[in-house]
Chains A and B, each alone.
Chain A
Amino acid sequence: MSLLSTQGLSAFYGDFQALFGIDVSVEEGETIAIIGANGAGKSTFLRAVAGALATRPEMVEYDGQPIGQRTPHELVRLGIAMVPEGRRLFPSLTVEENLALGGYCSRPGPWSLERVYALFPALKELRNLPAPSLSGGQQQMAAIGRALMCNPRLLLCDELSLGLAPVVIQNIYDCLGAITAEGTTVIIVEQDINRAIEASSRFYCFQEGRIGLTATKEGFDREAITAAYFGL
């Protein structure tokens, strides 16, 4: 049985429908990617899974339970954590306070402040600085660390590469291995197709709120992606 599956997931912002009948499933321990152009509904999908956007209960199933109407703070307790788009660190807290807040629910698991500092040694030296004084890459590390402190079973990563230099992006994606090695299931949302496909075993390509293409890392056709990506 999948850890997470969505069945005919539709989502709305007011009267505007952003997702139309999305079926996605992830096995425990798997890393999948969701790619697509701006406005394809990738972030909306993550927000719906994380509970930030209410859907019908049975549209999202996690660990055998319908969770479509749970709130984000309830889902964190069940093990769904999110690295939000744009990092969203708390500006009036220090780096360490931001990380420590990830442990607010005290879910048991492998991740602790020490483990996060071991994964991102740069953060340890910066731990007493206010979060906004960090560079973009360092902030992204802190945002990932903060989500890991929730000890998630399912980690949702929204646009990790946004606004970062290629070398920094590489650095951050290299760390994903250490996270999945703990058995954590990961969903990556990315605009950077190559990066996303390299880091995952399967991917879904969203287009205008629908799934345009789904394939495994090995068996895909670059032209089909281009077609699904741009809707050609």
Chain B
Amino acid sequence: MEWINILVQGCLLGGLYGLFAIGLSLSFGIMRLVNIAHGDLIVLSAYVALIVVEFTGLDPISGLLVILPTMFLFGYALQRGLLNFTLEGGLLPPLLVTFGISVIIQNGLLLGFGAYTHRLKLGAIETQSIVFPGDMAVGVFPLITFGVAVLSIGGLQLLFYKTTLGRAFRAVSDDADTAELLGINKRHLFALAMAIAMAFTALAAVLFAIRTNFDPGAGPIRLILAFEAVIIGGLGNMWGTLVGGIVLGIAQAVGAALSPTWQILAGHLAFIVILIIRPSGLFPRTRD
């Protein structure tokens, strides 16, 4: 029974990791942009949420009504005003520029907010749990987080496969120059993709910041978790990204059950093992 409990908790934690990874998966999948600043953008979003909550007095969930549009616009501006210019010159410029953004965000946050840890408070729901038969208690909040992850990816999947905008995203991902010949403005589309990525990043950040303390240096480890989730799942596959997150979550939960010091290491080991067995991930996007 104890092991089932561990699996369930790991699975729910994986939902959060899957959410972390959505933004990264989108920017790589559509723009081929490896965003080194992704983890710091999660943390930046958490601070934006903190400011919104403090200034408006809203709870963090209602605050999403302000936070998500803000980060959506921020993402659009970031891509259109800066990152688009890095995409013409090969693989290196986006890596260097996003690495620079990462450094700027970390130090900017340190300067503005200090090294203190912060947290968003949601009240009683944080500690409530549902007891399932067999005395297994499952936290309400992790359950909600997991549900949000599934709905987010389901929603994105609908966007990609059922709408004109989604078709255009897939087309620019395949061949941006030919897409231009059909009237698709790739700069605008890339910016929209980053805007959507940042909105999901902000959603992940708020759920993360309710669950755990954060500080200006919390970004890099989120980046690694998101990377691992994307790569385990297979590049460009959104459901795969969620599965990747779940694999990481379960590996960490199992590791933690063996010994608390093993939690993080177990996740990385699972990643390495999968990379050795299936170098292109569990569900690579098949293209022939």
Contact = CB atoms under 8 A, between A and B. Distances in A.
Given A90-B170, A97-B167, A104-B168, A76 B183 contact: yes
Interface stretch (A8-16, A81-89, A183-191, A224-232): A81-89
A101 B163 CA distance: 11
Contacts of B285: 92
Contact of A76 (B170, B171, B174, B181): B181
Interface string A68-97: 000111001100011010001011110001
Of listed B167, B170, B287, B288, residue having the most chain A CB within 10 A: B167
Contacts of B180: 52, 71-73
Given A50-B181, A73-B183, A92 B168 contact: no
Nearest to B188: A73
B287 A92 contact: yes
Contact of A82 (B168, B181, B184, B186): B181
Q: Interface residues of B: mostly helix, strand, loop or mixed?
A: helix
Contacts of B168: 101, 104
Of listed B174, B175, B177, B178, residue having the most chain A CB within 10 A: B178
B174 A150 contact: no
B182 interface: yes
B173 interface: yes
A2 B182 CA distance: 24
Interface in B150-203: 164, 167-168, 170-171, 173-175, 177-186
Given A104-B164, A104-B168, A88 B175 contact: yes
Interface in B46-99: none
Contact of B287 (A73, A77, A91, A105): A91
A52 B171 CA distance: 17
A100 B178 CA distance: 14
Contact of B174 (A71, A81, A84, A91): A91
Interface of B: 164, 167-168, 170-171, 173-175, 177-186, 285, 287-288
